[in-house]
């Protein structure tokens, strides 16, 4: 061929979409195509396919496989009959697998010939007729593919839309199951004679919306065949037959179940086995009661017993799509009639909506990291988002509205829109997006007839997929198919994610917001339907919740408009909490306080993290909302990138001292100090509760996303999915607790610093002269240990040292007045959380002087100190006042708390006796010792006394033990071999868990507590803080008892026996 002609042929092939022009030219010159190679109609038709190269290769292979007469007929029909040409080449360009089938069965090209419009959309009976001659498994497989050719042809040519194609695939699956069951029963006529077997289609098969390649989900139901003359049989005699002449009903049922199981298993293998003819699809029976662990076949009564007693929420959701598809259809209908009432009562179950939402999150979280960006079905903005949202609304509203009970997603979506449960505009957008994503899924699977939901990443695969969809959706021919595919995928995935969040919540607002009736595109729920939906979301008082919505969203003001935009998302976050009612009420309170503040709603609207953090704070319990309501402007912290980071102690002290110096009275000064403390407590609690907090939240167990990895089209959903709870408990939880304890200690230390300065200023103003002494405040217990919780008291000692030349008695009186004034100022009743100053660990306890000089402390400790006082001093650290004096106090007590040579045997025995007596006497009456976080078995006291005993005995020789922090001392004891690694881990885990329980109780109840709440909602909220989802309170308590029981066993060995 001359270079010019070759160049011209190449250009023509490239213009028609071929990517390998040389191979295409060689194939067109094949002798088998000599009659049509110059036909421009053929080249145009090839160029219109998804993959012209693949279509041409498939055509050549098909022609080569035909005898000469058939070859002539095919080529003549291809060039003269456009319907066949488009169907055949369309299939060959879209599916290499069906091209392989045509090469094996070349005469099956006749299945693509059509002249009658009525033949376009066959039903189950048509497919059954087409499969009737298949009397063995391989014949069924080839007959199935023959039928699939027609479905694929109608699909790629656009004569069937997505819904029709999915319905045809489901009908073909139904006919195939019936044929496979027929083959299985023909192979085992004895088994078939003794049982009635019904096959219930589930999932997309049951929903009449199947994919090209999908597991066909089924459930099997069987009963014994009634023998003639048996009770209940048509010809049964009036008198019962003699017992010795009949098998017991139980024996008949057992034999029937065995026979049915053999038939069902054989039917599944016929469909699932792979041979030279390929595989039809896998038949999956794992949606049956007990899943893989349950019997393959059950009687109807056994199914009912299971669903009445044991079934979980997701199992009722799965039954939404159930329908009889094969076998004894009468028995199948009995199954449907018996279970339908239970399906439509599922939304009445406790935690129904959270259970469904959690299941959706679990699906997303289980996607392999390498696949998450290409996951079309399960990822955010994928098909499951549509299906879950639709099913959730069906189960909630289908209880009272039978028109919503379709098992087909798009039909159900239309029914929800028609009933006013979803806005018409939203339903239309979701319908469009779902059709596009399902079409993507179909074309991906059709290529090799493999079950996959991953968008390919190869350039050739993406090009074929893009060209296929471009033809279907009539995209601009000038647009690169890959770029067009990515653009449309991103757009539709974003819309799905946005509408997934909006669907369930938005209509609630329209039901109460007093908008103009009949507003286009908006759902209008009746009062009853709105209340029903609120109940399903977990609101204990739906009427009150609807009143709050009405107050927030009604009217035409800009404030109401913005809140109507915000509330659908906020309602979802509140529903994720243990107390949605409190979350919504608190949001109304904050909005009432700040609604006229210009920045407030703008912050929530424009800063996604701020709105989510606020929702978490408002629905977490009593303490954080109470803190916020005292100063609602603290909401601004939630939108600042660094707003939730804990502030350094030095910065806090500088702020409170400046506020004290500006004050005109000690009461005003301490009010300013308390204001700073309140704001910082709110900042800390919000950081602790917020998934966005970098200060206290443990690192993601999956780590950060790989650098440079492309984002999924819906990777930034309208409402981010909450993170999975951290593993309970562990190193990450301990690290978070350390950070939290340090932050709370810094806050309270700054508050004591400010209150001390206010007290000194007050005393100096009254006495008319500077204070004649230096004062230092020594933190004790958790305060000194930098381990404060939300509800901890501030244990302190007061030490002073007169200035040089000052009268010691006068200095002591002045120091005492300052200490008493500090306590008075911090105890002035207010709505703020109290900071109780407890000085009972001082020498001689409550009977001793509140303040001593450094020399007096030294004299007392040298002469009178007891073992328990040395133990208490292990956690002493300066927290406020004169730094040099505080440091000298530490120098004074170090020899006492780390005695040279270690603690003597008598002192050890005394500490053990004291601990045993405390266990017997201090636990509150009626308290459960297995769940008391402080004094209970394996709780804080057990762990701390054990660690402190090691410090007293070995601190003199182990500098690493000279720390006020429990976990740090325990870690060092393990590092140097004083404690076994496993024992140390057990103790650390128990201490962290008990500390977190106390923090959770304070956050939830607004007051300190060492025991789990008895109120169900409060207990659930504690569980949420600890990482336990809905319905897992029992698991939480069991875990706590298990962890602390193990810790107590270690304490028994190390503390009492070591």
Looking at the structure, tell me whether residues 372 and 455 fall in a common domain. yes
Higher pLDDT, 249 or 631: 631
Same domain, 844 and 867: yes
CA distance 214 to 205: 9
**Residue 703: band (very low, low, confident or very high) from pLDDT cuts 50, 70, 90:** very low
- Give yes or no: residues 893 and 911 share one domain: no
The closest of 535, 538, 571 to 552, measured between CA atoms, is 571
Q: Nearest-CA neighbor of 198 among 336, 95, 373, 87?
A: 336
Q: Residue 231: what pLDDT? A: 52
Provide the angle, in degrees to the nearest 10, between the axes of the packed helices 383-397 and 481-512: 20
The alpha-helical segments, DSSP class H, found in 48-161 are 52-65, 68-80, 82-94, 96-104, 124-131, 137-157
892/278 Cα distance (integer angstroms): 86
Q: Residues 811-823: what's their mean pLDDT?
A: 97
Domain stop point among 282, 311, 343: 343
Specify the number of domains making up the chain: 5
Residue range 1002-1025, pLDDT digits in tens:
999 999 999 999 999 999 999 999
Q: In Å, how far from its chain's centre is CA 381? A: 15
> Is the domain of 491 the same as that of 583?
no
C-alpha closest to that of 393 among 571, 587, 537: 537
Query: Residues 743-783: pLDDT tens digits?
Result: 999 999 999 999 999 999 999 999 999 999 999 999 999 99
- Say if residue 419 is in the same domain as residue 280: no
Cα 468 from Cα 1020, distance rounded (Å): 51
Identify the band that residue 107 occupies on the pLDDT scale cut at 50, 70 and 90: very high
User: Do 796 and 832 belong together in one domain?
Assistant: yes
* C-alpha to C-alpha distance for 660 and 664, rounded to whole angstroms: 8
pLDDT number for residue 418: 87
Retrieve residue 493's tokens. Answer: 């995935």
Q: What is the mean pLDDT of the chain?
A: 88
Separation of alpha carbons 701 and 726, rounded Å: 8
Closest CA to 795 of 840, 758, 833: 840
Q: Are residues 848 and 772 part of one domain?
A: yes
Confirm whether 50 is domain-assigned: no
Instruction: Give the pLDDT score at 245.
Output: 45
Last residue of a domain, one of 865, 897, 929: 897
Tens digits of residue pLDDT in 852-879: 999 999 999 999 888 889 999 999 999 9
Percentage, residues of the chain above pLDDT 70: 90
Question: Which range has the worst mean pLDDT, 102-111, 606-615, 767-776, 807-816?
Answer: 606-615
Q: Within a domain: residue 558?
A: yes
Among residues 536, 366, 576, the alpha carbon closest in space to that of 1029 is found at: 576
Helices 981-1005 and 1016-1026, interaxial angle, to 10°?
A: 130
- Residue 22 pLDDT greater than 50, yes or no: yes
DSSP state of 938: T
pLDDT-derived band at 504 (thresholds 50, 70, 90) equals low
- Give the Cα separation of 535 and 542 in Å (integer): 6
Task: Determine the average pLDDT of the residues in 976-997.
Answer: 97
**Are residues 1050 and 983 located together in one domain of the fold?**
yes
Displacement of CA 900 from its chain's centroid (Å)? 54
CA angle 491, 497, 501 (to 5 degrees): 145
Does the pLDDT value for residue 244 go beyond 60?
A: no
pLDDT at 566: 81
- The whole-number average pLDDT for the span 273-295 is 94
Full residue range of the structural domain in which residue 801 is found: 751-897
Residue 549 domain-assigned? yes
> What are the structure tokens assigned to 633, written together?
């402007």
Tell me the backbone φ, ψ of residue 731, rounded to 5 degrees: -60, -40
Give 629-633 contacts, CB < 8 A, sequence gap 24+.
629/586, 629/589, 629/590, 629/593, 630/678, 630/831, 630/832, 631/675, 631/678, 631/679, 631/682, 632/590, 632/593, 632/594, 633/594, 633/597
Burial of 53 (0-12, 13-18, 19+ CB in 10 A): buried
In a domain, 130, yes or no: no
DSSP letter at 375?
B
Residue 529 lies in a domain: no
- Of 378-382, 457-461, 477-481, give the range with the top mean pLDDT: 457-461
Residue at 680 is within a domain: no
Q: Which of 200, 207, 168, 156 is nearest to 181 (CA)?
A: 200
Count CB neighbours of 381 within 10 A.
Answer: 28
- In this predicted structure, which of 388-392, 544-548, 553-557 has the lowest mean pLDDT? 553-557
Under a CB-based contact definition with an 8 Å cutoff, are residues 62 and 102 in contact?
A: yes
Average the pLDDT over 150-169 and give the result. 94
Cβ(880)–Cβ(777) below 8 Å: yes
- Is residue 693 within 8 Å of 610, Cβ to Cβ? no
CA 299 to chain centre: 36
For residue 196, the surrounding DSSP H or E stretch is strand 195-201
Would you say the C-alpha torsion 611, 613, 616, 618 has a positive or negative sign? negative
CATH at 959: 1.20.120.330
DSSP three-state, residue 709: coil
Dist CA 667 CA 758 (whole Å) = 8
In a domain, 177, yes or no: yes
**pLDDT grade for 171, boundaries at 50, 70 and 90:** very high
Distance between CA atoms of residues 53 and 438, nearest Å? 25
Decide: 919 and 935 in contact? Cβ < 8 Å.
Answer: yes
The whole-number pLDDT of residue 115 equals: 56
CA atoms within 13 A on the CB side of 92: 27
Task: Let me know whether 507 and 572 are in one domain.
Answer: no
The CA distance from 370 to 949, in Å, is 50
For residues 819 and 850, give the distance between their C-alpha atoms in angstroms, rounded to a whole number.
8
pLDDT above 60 (res 722): no
Same domain, 313 and 364: no
Whether residue 552 contacts residue 571, with contact meaning beta carbons closer than 8 Å, is answered with no
pLDDT for 957 beyond 90: yes
d(CA 628, CA 1006) in angstroms, rounded, equals: 13
Here the CATH number for the domain that contains residue 858 is 3.30.460.10
pLDDT of residue 512: 54
* Centroid of chain to Cα 532: 24
User: Do 503 and 422 touch, CB atoms closer than 8 A?
Assistant: yes
| Residue 1052, burial from CB neighbour count under 10 angstroms (0-12, 13-18, 19+) | middle
Residues 487 and 560 in one domain: no
pLDDT of residue 196: 97
Residue 665: inside a domain, yes or no?
no
Comparing 360-364, 393-397, 840-844, 845-849, which segment has the lowest mean pLDDT?
A: 360-364
Q: How far is the C-alpha of 618 from the C-alpha of 621, rounded, in Å?
A: 7
Q: Which of 179-193, 536-550, 718-732 has the least mean pLDDT?
A: 718-732
Residue 465 in tokens: 């997929």
Chosen domain end from 291, 320, 343: 343
Is residue 654 within 8 Å of residue 661, measured between CB atoms?
A: no
Q: Do residues 913 and 865 share a domain? A: no
């Amino acid at each position: 061929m001359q270079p010019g002609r070759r160049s011209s042929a190449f250009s023509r092939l490239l213009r028609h979409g071929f990517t390998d022009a040389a191979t295409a030219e060689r194939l067109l010159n094949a002798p088998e195509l000599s009659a049509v190679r110059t036909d421009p109609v053929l080249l145009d038709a090839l160029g219109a396919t998804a993959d012209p190269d693949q279509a041409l290769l498939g055509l050549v292979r098909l022609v080569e496989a035909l005898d000469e007469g058939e070859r002539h007929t095919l080529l003549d029909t291809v060039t003269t009959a456009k319907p066949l040409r488009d169907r055949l080449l369309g299939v060959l360009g879209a599916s290499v697998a069906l091209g392989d089938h045509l090469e094996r069965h070349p005469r099956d090209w006749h299945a693509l010939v059509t002249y009658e419009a009525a033949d376009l959309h066959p039903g189950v009976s048509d497919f059954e007729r087409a499969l009737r001659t298949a009397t063995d498994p391989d014949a069924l497989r080839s007959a199935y593919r023959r039928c699939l050719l027609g479905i694929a042809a109608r699909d790629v040519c656009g004569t069937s839309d997505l819904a029709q194609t999915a319905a045809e695939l489901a009908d073909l699956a139904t006919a195939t199951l019936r044929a496979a069951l027929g083959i299985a029963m023909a192979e085992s006529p004895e088994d078939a004679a003794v049982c009635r077997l019904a096959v219930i289609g589930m999932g997309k098969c049951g929903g009449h919306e199947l994919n090209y390649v999908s597991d066909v989900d089924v459930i099997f139901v069987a009963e014994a065949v009634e023998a003639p003359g048996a009770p209940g049989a048509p010809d049964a005699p009036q008198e019962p037959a003699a017992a010795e002449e009949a098998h017991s009903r139980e024996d008949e049922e057992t034999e029937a179940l065995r026979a049915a199981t053999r038939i069902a298993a054989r039917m599944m293998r016929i469909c699932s086995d792979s041979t030279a003819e390929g595989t039809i699809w896998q038949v999956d029976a794992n949606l049956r009661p007990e899943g893989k662990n349950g019997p393959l076949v059950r009687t109807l009564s056994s199914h009912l017993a299971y669903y009445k007693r044991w079934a979980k929420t997701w199992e009722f959701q799965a039954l939404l799509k159930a329908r009889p598809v094969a076998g004894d259809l009468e028995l199948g209908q009995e199954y449907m009639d018996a279970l339908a009432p239970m399906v439509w009562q599922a939304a009445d179950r406790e935690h129904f909506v959270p259970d469904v939402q959690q299941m959706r999150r679990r699906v997303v979280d289980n996607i392999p990291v390498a696949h998450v960006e290409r996951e079309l079905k399960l990822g955010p903005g994928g098909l499951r988002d549509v299906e879950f949202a639709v099913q959730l609304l069906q189960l909630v509203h289908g209880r009272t509205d039978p028109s919503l009970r379709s098992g087909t997603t798009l039909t159900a979506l239309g029914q929800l829109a028609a009933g006013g449960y979803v806005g018409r505009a939203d339903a239309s957008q979701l319908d469009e997006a779902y059709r596009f994503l399902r079409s993507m899924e179909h074309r991906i699977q059709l290529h090799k007839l493999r079950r996959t939901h991953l968008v390919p990443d190869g350039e050739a695969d993406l090009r074929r997929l893009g060209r296929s969809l471009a033809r279907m959706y009539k995209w601009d021919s000038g647009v690169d198919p890959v770029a067009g595919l990515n653009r449309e995928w991103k757009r539709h995935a974003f819309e799905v994610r946005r509408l997934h969040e909006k669907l369930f919540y938005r209509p609630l607002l329209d039901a109460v917001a007093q908008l103009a009736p009949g507003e286009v595109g908006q759902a209008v729920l009746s009062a009853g339907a709105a209340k029903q939906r609120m109940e399903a979301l977990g609101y204990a008082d739906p009427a009150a919740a609807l009143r709050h919505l009405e107050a927030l969203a009604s009217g035409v003001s800009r404030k109401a408009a913005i809140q109507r935009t915000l509330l659908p998302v906020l309602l979802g976050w509140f529903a994720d909490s243990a107390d949605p009612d409190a979350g919504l009420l608190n949001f109304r309170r904050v909005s009432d306080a700040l609604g006229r503040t210009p920045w407030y709603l703008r912050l929530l609207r424009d800063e996604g993290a701020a709105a989510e953090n606020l929702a978490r704070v408002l629905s977490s319990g009593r303490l954080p909302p109470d803190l916020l309501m005292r100063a609602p402007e603290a909401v601004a912290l939630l939108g600042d990138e660094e707003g939730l980071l804990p502030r350094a102690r030095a910065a806090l002290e500088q702020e409170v001292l400046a506020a004290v110096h500006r004050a005109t009275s000690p009461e005003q000064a301490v009010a300013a100090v308390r204001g700073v403390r309140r704001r910082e407590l709110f900042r800390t609690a919000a950081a602790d509760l917020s998934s966005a907090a970098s200060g206290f939240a443990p690192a993601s167990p999956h780590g950060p996303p790989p650098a440079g990895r492309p984002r999924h089209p819906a990777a930034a959903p309208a409402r981010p999915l909450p993170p999975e709870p951290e593993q309970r408990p562990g190193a990450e939880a301990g690290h978070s607790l350390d950070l939290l304890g340090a932050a709370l200690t810094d806050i309270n230390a700054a508050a004591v610093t400010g209150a001390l300065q206010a007290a000194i200023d007050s005393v100096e103003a009254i006495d008319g002269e500077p204070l004649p002494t230096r004062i230092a405040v020594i933190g004790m217990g958790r305060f000194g240990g930098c381990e404060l919780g939300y509800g901890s008291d501030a244990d302190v000692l007061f030490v002073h040292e007169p200035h040089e030349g000052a009268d010691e008695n006068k200095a002591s009186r002045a120091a005492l007045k300052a200490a008493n004034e500090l306590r008075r100022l911090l105890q002035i009743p207010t709505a703020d959380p109290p900071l109780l100053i407890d000085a009972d660990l001082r020498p001689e306890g409550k009977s001793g002087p509140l303040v001593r000089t450094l020399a007096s402390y030294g004299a007392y400790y040298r002469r009178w100190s007891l073992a328990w006082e040395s133990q208490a001093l292990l956690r002493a650290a300066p927290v406020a006042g004169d730094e040099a004096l505080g440091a000298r106090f530490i120098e004074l007590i170090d020899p006492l708390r780390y005695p040279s040579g270690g603690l003597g045997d008598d002192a050890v025995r005394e500490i053990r006796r004291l601990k045993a007596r405390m266990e017997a006497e201090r636990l509150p009456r009626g308290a459960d010792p297995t769940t008391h976080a402080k004094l209970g078995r394996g709780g804080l006291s057990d762990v701390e006394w054990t660690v402190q005993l090691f410090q007293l005995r070995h601190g003199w020789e182990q500098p690493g033990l000279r720390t006020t922090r429990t976990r740090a001392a325990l870690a060092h004891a393990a590092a140097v071999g004083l404690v076994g690694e496993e024992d140390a881990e057990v103790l650390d885990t128990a201490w962290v868990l008990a500390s977190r329980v106390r923090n959770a109780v304070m956050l939830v109840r607004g007051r300190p507590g060492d025991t789990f709440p008895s109120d169900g909602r409060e207990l659930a909220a504690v569980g949420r803080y600890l990482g336990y989802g809905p319905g897992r309170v029992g698991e939480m308590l069991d875990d706590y008892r298990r962890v602390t029981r193990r810790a107590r066993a270690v304490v028994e060995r190390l503390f009492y026996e070591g």
